[in-house]
Amino acid sequence: MDPYKYRPSSAYNSPFFTNNSGTPVYDDNSSLTVGSRGPVLLEDYHLIEKLAHFERERIPERVVHARGASAKGFFEVTHDISHLTCADFLRAPGVQTPLIARFSTVIHERGSPETIRDPRGFAVKFYTREGNFDFVGNNFPVFFIRDAMKFADVIHAFKPNPKSHIQENWRILDFCSHHPESLHAFTFFFDDEGVPTDYRHINGSSVNTYTLINKAGKGHYVKFHWKPTCGVKFLLEEEAIKVGGTNHSHATQDLYDSIAAGNYPEWKLYIQTIDPDHEDRFDFDPLDSTKTWPEDIVPLQPVGRLVLNRNIDNFFAENEMLAFSPGTVVPGISYSDDKMLQGRVFAYGDTQRHRLGPNYLLLPVNAPKCAHHNNHYDGFMNFMHRDEEVDYFPSRYDPVRHAEKYPILPTVCSGRRERCLSEKGSDFKQPGERYRSWAPDRQERYVSRWVNALSDPRVTHEIRSIWISWWTQADRSLGQRLASRLNVRPSI
């Protein structure tokens, strides 16, 4: 199965210029005028078409993950996990699946520097025999919030001030001071990992909890983790300033140049699994996206490897119009009741319908490479050629049938309809453990970044005190160091 042939081809290129309708253009240098200097005529259709198309070249950029780079490659299964999932592309060691991956920053605009302190997106579209599977994650294994109700708010807080269009620490710290669950993500954001060296040297994580389902219908909660074979590397402040000041697209260029030179980036895929019947054995909620699953309790299991060995052919077609959604899964992989994931399943597909139109999944880079059939007709920019007479189901005039049933979880849901917080476990334990795992010089850099952020003149004494109190609960020495440098008395 070659996914690259399923795209509009340049094979029909003419040796001479034409307009979009294919009409020959004998002069693409001069407008049609009255005399050599006279006014331009409105009837110059080629000029009007050329300008009109140019003015519409840009499409709405992504609200998040606008700045990114893509590459193609394959995924190869190296370890048998068929006892955990009936997903066809994971059926046995040696099975290869073509894919396209996209890496990105999260908060800033399409042309922003790639040295900004920011999470990095890590997304992979697998073109499987049973349809596409979109892995949509980040390099951080946790997020700042645990409920999708606050997703727009946390992004707004991290985005530039709507009045000045300047990203400001006081806005970030103000919002997150209402959410102690954000502490864990800050141990990545203000850590050295907050500014990766490039895209080849980052981890990837699903962040959210999914569910694997085997042939017998048994489900296991799962988190996915990508580990780069070349290791994780990051830029410290002075290095980031130097690199970003030299080339604001350094990570995109590094990815492209490495593949062009035959130095193919590779990641190993690991999973962690928890039997839902055993989730009460842990002191954390497995469905909480602000918590990690400790590897000494829930060990990593190897699955396969991802290799990027081909650059994209066109940045717009295969990066800007490339669209991912956590809702795009295949048999054997499903969702969980993770509140963040539940919101993302809707939001990601919906933002693509806004950006690219209702038929965005017909675009070659997004379309499945297996046979597919449904009755999703018409709509803006529907370019699929169809000659069927039946556009409903079922019909005695159309032989199409339901697919063979595959296992789904027989979940029973019960409970009161209510809006409530999920607060199992401590929001302070894992951040403190992570801080204590660092070498002293790394701890010092982390403290310095927090002192800098909390020294923002618009951060109030109340907000500063909240953060020092929280960090004291996570690690007493960390709280004391912050309090000492900021002249604030720690209180719990």
Write out pLDDT tens, residues 233-270: 999 999 999 999 999 999 999 999 999 999 999 999 99
Identify the CA nearest to 133 among candidates 266, 305, 284, 327. 327
With a cut of 80, say whether residue 104 has pLDDT above it.
yes
**pLDDT the model gives residue 386:** 83
pLDDT band, residue 131 (cuts 50/70/90)? very high
**pLDDT the model gives residue 420:** 83
Angle between helices 169-176 and 151-158 (to 10 degrees): 150
Identify the CA nearest to 369 among candidates 63, 100, 64. 100
With a cut of 70, say whether residue 449 has pLDDT above it.
yes
Across the range 317-344, mean pLDDT stands at 96
Residues 189 and 407: their CA atoms lie apart, in Å, by: 39
Distance of CA 22 to the CA centre of its chain: 39
Residues 6+ apart with CB under 8 A from 419: none
With a cut of 90, say whether residue 415 has pLDDT above it.
no
pLDDT band, residue 9 (cuts 50/70/90)? low
With a cut of 50, say whether residue 6 has pLDDT above it.
no
Residue 29 tokens, joined:
């240098």
**pLDDT the model gives residue 3:** 52
Across the range 311-321, mean pLDDT stands at 96
Residues 290-312: tens digit of each pLDDT: 999 999 999 999 999 999 999 99
Annotated catalytic residue, options 65, 179, 201, 250: 65
Q: How many CB atoms lie within 10 A of CB 157?
A: 21
Dihedral, CA of residue 236, residue 241, residue 247 and residue 253, to nearest 10: 10
Q: For the chain, state the CA radius of gyration.
A: 26
pLDDT band, residue 7 (cuts 50/70/90)? very low
Residues 371, 374, 375, 378, CA torsion sign = negative
Asked if the peptide bond before residue 93 counts as cis, ω within 30 degrees of 0, the response is no
Helix (H) or strand (E) holding 141: none
Residue 73, CA atoms < 13 Å, CB-side half-sphere: 23
Say if residues 128 and 97 touch (Cβ distance below 8 Å). yes
Annotated catalytic residue, options 46, 132, 138, 184: 138
User: How is 14-37 classified by DSSP, letter by letter?
Assistant: -SS-B-TT--B-S-SSS--BSTTT
Q: Which residue has the tokens 């990203």?
A: 167
Pairwise pLDDT comparison (177 vs 13), residue with the higher score = 177
pLDDT band, residue 492 (cuts 50/70/90)? low
Dihedral, CA of residue 308, residue 309, residue 313 and residue 316, to nearest 10: 10
**pLDDT the model gives residue 318:** 97
Say if residues 327 and 343 touch (Cβ distance below 8 Å). no
Identify the CA nearest to 258 among candidates 309, 188, 334, 196. 309
Across the range 337-357, mean pLDDT stands at 95
Across the range 413-437, mean pLDDT stands at 89
With a cut of 80, say whether residue 390 has pLDDT above it.
yes
Say if residues 210 and 222 touch (Cβ distance below 8 Å). yes
Across the range 24-35, mean pLDDT stands at 93
Pairwise pLDDT comparison (382 vs 87), residue with the higher score = 87
With a cut of 50, say whether residue 367 has pLDDT above it.
yes
User: How is 160-195 classified by DSSP, letter by letter?
Assistant: PPTTT----HHHHHHHHTT-GGGHHHHHHHSSGGGS
Across the range 1-17, mean pLDDT stands at 61
**pLDDT the model gives residue 490:** 60
Across the range 378-407, mean pLDDT stands at 89
Residue 378 tokens, joined:
């018409």
Distances (CA, A) of 167 to 162, 192, 286: 9, 20, 33
- 3-state SS of the chain: helix, strand, coil percent to 5? 30, 15, 55
Identify the CA nearest to 180 among candidates 208, 150, 141, 144. 144
How far is the first Cα of the chain from the last one, in angstroms, to the nearest whole number? 60
Q: How many CB atoms lie within 10 A of CB 102?
A: 22
**pLDDT the model gives residue 2:** 57
The whole-chain average pLDDT of the chain stands at 93
pLDDT band, residue 76 (cuts 50/70/90)? very high
19 catalytic per annotation:
no
Say if residues 127 and 3 touch (Cβ distance below 8 Å). yes
Q: What percent of the chain has pLDDT over 90?
A: 83
Tell me which DSSP letter residue 62 carries.
P
138 catalytic per annotation:
yes
With a cut of 80, say whether residue 477 has pLDDT above it.
yes
Residues 152-201: tens digit of each pLDDT: 999 999 999 999 999 999 999 999 999 999 999 999 999 999 999 999 99
Pairwise pLDDT comparison (411 vs 180), residue with the higher score = 180
**pLDDT the model gives residue 10:** 60
The letter for the amino acid at 456 is: D
